[in-house]
Amino acid sequence: MERSKRIILVSHCILNQNTVVQPLARAKGAYKDIVMELINNDIGIHQLPCPEYRFLGLKREPMTKEQYDTEGFRNINKRIAVDTVNIIKEYISNGYEVLGIIGINESPTCSINGDKGILMEELINILRYEDIKLNLIDVPTDYHDGEKGERFIAELKSMVI
């Protein structure tokens, strides 16, 4: 079978809301509308690791970026960012089109717009250093599959089509 050779990187919780801090989860499993939009356009989905889950596990309390911003947590994010850039470079060197990264707005680790999350800070810094330009988009904080997600899905479509 011929591959589309089109990839998008997504924050972990887009595919797995089960790792989101308990009161903040907005889906039972994955964001179905986002995932289906990518699948329907033959786009491969590369899931980023969740630094918060790696650092504190499932039973963690909601924390701010400032609370997470410790040397140990920052180091986990740097390692993930370096690994992610190497993965992106591997895709690119093999003729794949890396369409971009989908983050989570206002996440202490995965926010791209506004006050960047710790992972995205590290990742974007390395991408800039490596002169790799990607589309960057955040799932809005009020996103829910269905009517509340229509605006985001329209924005996503313009990025992937």
pLDDT in tens, 100-124: 999 999 999 999 999 999 999 999 9
Structural tokens at position 50: 């969740």
The three-state secondary structure class of 31 is coil
Q: Is 22 exposed, middle or buried (0-12, 13-18, 19+ CB in 10 A)?
A: exposed
Q: Is 158 exposed, middle or buried (0-12, 13-18, 19+ CB in 10 A)?
A: exposed
pLDDT band of residue 148 (cuts 50, 70, 90) is confident
The stretch 60-89 carries a mean pLDDT of: 98
Residue ranges in the chain assigned as alpha helix (H): 12-15, 32-40, 51-56, 65-68, 71-93, 118-129, 150-160
**Domain edges within the chain:** 6-140
pTM of the model: 0.95
pLDDT band of residue 27 (cuts 50, 70, 90) is confident
What mean pLDDT is reported for the chain? 95
> What percentage of the chain has pLDDT greater than the value 90?
88
> What percentage of the chain has pLDDT greater than the value 70?
100
Structural tokens at position 143: 């996103």
- What's the pLDDT at 161? 78
Q: Are 34 and 144 in contact (CB under 8 A)?
A: no
- What's the pLDDT at 136? 97
Task: Compute the distance between CA of residue 93 and CA of residue 67 in angstroms, rounded to an integer.
Answer: 38
The stretch 39-52 carries a mean pLDDT of: 98
The stretch 77-93 carries a mean pLDDT of: 98
pLDDT band of residue 72 (cuts 50, 70, 90) is very high
Q: Are 20 and 13 in contact (CB under 8 A)?
A: yes
The stretch 24-53 carries a mean pLDDT of: 95
* 58-95 exposure pattern, b = at least 16 Cβ within 10 A, e = fewer: eeeeebebeebeeeebbebbbebbeebbeebeebeeee
Q: Are 109 and 21 in contact (CB under 8 A)?
A: no
